[in-house]
Structure 1
Amino acid sequence: MGSADIILVINLFVAGLLAASFMTLAIHEVGRVAARWLAFSYMLGMAYFAAEFAIPAFDDARLPVVAAFAVFLAATIAFNGGLAHKYGVAPPWAPMLFFLAVASVGVFTVQDLPRHSLTRMMAYQLPYAAMQSTALIIVGSSRQRRGRLDHLLMTVLAASAIQFASKPFIAGALGGWGANPQSYVQTSYALVSQSLGTVFGLALALLALAILVRDVLAEATSKSETDVLSRLLNRRGFERHAELAMGDAVRQGVPVALVIADLDHFKGINDSYGHACGDLVIETFAGFLREAAAEHHVAGRIGGEEFAIILPGTNLAAARLFAEGARSAFGALPIDGLPIEYRCSASFGVAELAAEEDFSGLLRRADEALYQAKGAGRDCVRVSPGPTGRQKKPISGKG
């Protein structure tokens, strides 16, 4: 058994391990369809390596060679389908499958050309380069936010497309790819080609695995940080995301404010109308916060009837106006399950981050302002002008 044969066997087992890894990930809801397609891709990869290993056993290798080519190209198409599902792009099944049929016919046709013909070699390798380029387009066209792993995946896809396109020239430099298909695995080119395939195939697989695992972990983290009733961040999640948002605002040199709200007389609502109505009040206020918040704002339910929203790029005056608008709008909303004339209200505390202040200090001051609002009769807004300043009067509301 030559070196190329050994690499083929290694590739066969590696493809099997990768297929099993993707199938394991497919048990999770996040990325389930993508993982299944990627697993199928590496199952096809196993079939391809097995076919390559078996080709020397055939006297007439024309059909086995075309079949091996078609199986490997189908594996790249399945891989593209997995990426498309991962990145929220409609998989271009029809053009890819049409391309598979045309390329397979093309490879069958060039079997009559001289073994070392550049046209024949290009007919084998350019379709693979085209599918890797398609994968690059799929990832690049996604509207999902891309991180470092996604950009690295795009880089490796581009490099893989280039190496497929360059293989005919590599074969020429290394003395060709054998006098016939049976002798291919004994050539220096086969060793280089299979080694390149191992490197790029493994790199793409590991990156795809890492990206799917990242998404699964992110989903698990999101669920652990999300309040079920309000569908806002819970206290743990809010504090983590708020500190990140605050840190970004400080680095950018923009102000950041925190608004804390508490639903007034909430216990009375539960006692008089039942906990189901109380839940509806929480859901209504949370929905209102989601609609009022901008994309870069961070909102959460940090207590039973207490909510908070951090506003990067917003100073104290603008945050106070936000709170006043929220107080006024929420007070006018009818709540299902409550008497038609009943209106709920909320009290608000507002603080702007001071120089050298940390998140806990900002949270404490906003909370103190909230308690001043509750002490002033509720249904009003109070602001904290600074760590050592005196409390300002509200611009509107009760008190």
Structure 2
Amino acid sequence: MGSANFILLINLSVAGLLAAAFLTIAVYNVGRASARWLAFGYLLGMVYCAIEFSIPAFDNARPMVVAAFAVFLGATVAFNAGVAHKYAVAPPWPAMLFFLFAATVAVYVVQDLPRQSLARMMVYQLPYAVMQFVGLGIVWSSRQKRDRLDHALMAVLAASGLQFASKPFIAHALGGWGANPQAYMQSSYAQVSQSLGTVFGLALALLILAILVRDVLAEVTLKSEMDTLSRLLNRGGFVRHAEIALVGAVRQGVPVALVIADLDHFKTVNDSFGHASGDRVIEVFAGFLREAAADHHVAGRIGGEEFAIILPGTNLTAARLFAEGTRSAFGALPIEGLPRDSRCTASFGVAELQQGESFANLMRRADEALYQAKNGGRDCVRISTRQAGARQQPSAPGKPQDLNGRD
């Protein structure tokens, strides 16, 4: 067995292992269409390798050469479909399928050209380069946030496209790609071409596999940090994400504020109207926080009826206005399951991060401000100022003081 055949055998085995890996991810998450398309792409890669092995057995190799080209180009189409599903981009099916058909016809036609013709080599290799750049365009056009792995994938797609475009010139420099299709695997070019295919194919597969595994782990982590009723972060998730947001705000030199809210008389709602109505109140209030929060804000349900939101880039005044707007809108909203004339309210404590202050201390000060709001009559906002012991000014009409704490 020649060295090129040995490399092709390695490619066949690697394609099978990668197909199995992507199928495993697809089984783990039934809705992960990207993994299914990627698995299909590498299964087609196995078929391509099998066809390449069989070409020397045919006297008229033209149909098998065209079939091998079409199958491998189809594998790149499937790969791009998987990438598109991963990055929430609509796969360009009409363009890719038309290109697959047109390129296959072109490869069939150019078989009549001299075998070492540069034009013939380019017609065979350039479609692969085009499909790699289509994959690059898909990732580039995605609106999803990208990290180093995603940028590495784009870089390797670009490099892979360039190596396909360079193959006709490599073949020409190495004396061609065999006197006939049957002799291809014995040529020096075949060894180089198959080696390049192994390197780039494996690099692309490992990168997209790492990206999918990253997303699966992120999804599992998110589910463990998510409160199912409110669809906000639970306390542990909120603390983790809020601390990250706080560090980022400090690094950028922007203010950061914390708002803690507590639903007023929530126990009374449960006792009077049932827990289903209480759950509805939590869902409605959480919906207010989700709609009001920007992408860089972090909101969570940190207790039974207690919520928190950290606001990077927001000072104390703006955070107080945020709390006032939420308080006013929520207090005026009728809630399904409660009497038509019933309204629910919430109390708020607001604090802005001071220089050198820890997140735990910021939470403590916002919580103290919330206690003042609850003891000051509820349905109001209180702020924690820098001066210790400073008097908190009410932001809603004064109400009789309630010394019973939160409920």
What is the TM-score when the length of structure 1 is the normalising length?
A: 0.97
The gaps in structure 2 that reach 5 residues or longer are: 400-407
**CA displacement, residues 243-283 of structure 1 (integer Å, 9 cap, x when unaligned):** 11111111111111101011111111111111111111111
Give, in whole Å, the separation in 1 of the partners of 2:13 and 2:202. Answer: 12
Kindly state the Cα deviation for residue 140 of structure 1 after the two structures are TM-superposed. 1.0
CA displacement at 1:183 relative to structure 2: 1.1
Structure 2 counterpart SS, 1:112: coil
Identity %: 74
Deviation at 1:305, TM superposition (A): 0.3
CA–CA separation in structure 2 for the residues paired with 1:37 and 1:219: 20
1: CA distance, partners of 2:376 / 2:37: 61
Q: CA deviation at 1:387?
A: 7.0
SS in 2 for 1:239: helix
Q: Does 193-202 or 235-244 show the bigger shift?
A: 235-244
Maintained 8 Å contact 1:31/1:86: no
State yes or no: 1:210 paired with 2:210. Answer: yes
Where does residue 152 of structure 2 map in the other structure?
Answer: 152
Compute the displacement of 1:392 (Å).
2.4
Q: CA deviation digits over 1:45-88, x for unaligned, max 9? A: 00001111111111121111111111111111111111111111
* Separation in 2, partners of 1:243, 1:297: 12
CA shift, 1:386, in A, is 2.5
Corresponding residue of 1:323: 323
Question: Which piece of structure 1 moves more, 290-299 or 42-51?
Answer: 290-299
Partner residue, 1:121:
121
- Give 1:298 shift: 1.2
Give 1:302's aligned residue.
302
| CA–CA separation in structure 2 for the residues paired with 1:131 and 1:54 | 25
Q: Which runs of 4+ in 1 moved over 6 A?
A: none
On the 8 A contact 2:379/2:396 being kept in 1, the answer is no
Aligned equivalents of 2:183, 2:112: Cα separation in 1: 17
Equivalent position of 1:74 in the other structure: 74
* 8 Å contact kept, 2:380–2:395: no
Match of 1:314 in 2: 314
1:92 positional shift: 1.5
For 1:339, the equivalent position in structure 2 comes to 339
Superimposed CA distance per residue, residues 362-384 of structure 1 (whole angstroms, 9 cap, x where no aligned partner): 00110111111111222221111
The 1:16/1:397 distance shift into structure 2, 3 A limit, reads: farther
Aligned residue number for residue 388 of structure 1: 388
Partner of 1:250: 250
Q: What number of residue pairs does the alignment pair up?
A: 399
2:110 equivalent to 1:110: yes
Q: Helix, strand or coil for the counterpart of 2:309?
A: strand
Shift of residue 31, structure 1, vs aligned partner: 6.0
Tell me whether 95-104 or 121-130 shows the greater mean CA deviation. 95-104
Q: Which runs of 5+ in 1 are unaligned?
A: none
Equivalences for residues 157-168 of structure 1 within 5 A: 157-168=157-168
Is the Cα contact below 8 Å between 1:30 and 1:216 reproduced in 2?
Answer: no
Q: How many Å apart are 1:394 and its aligned residue?
A: 2.4
- CA offset at residue 389 of structure 1? 4.8
> Which string of whole-angstrom CA distances, capped at 9 and with x for unpartnered residues, describes residues 203-231 of structure 1?
11111111111111111111111111111
Partners of 1:31 and 1:215 within 8 A in 2: no
Cα drift, residue 398 of structure 1: 3.2
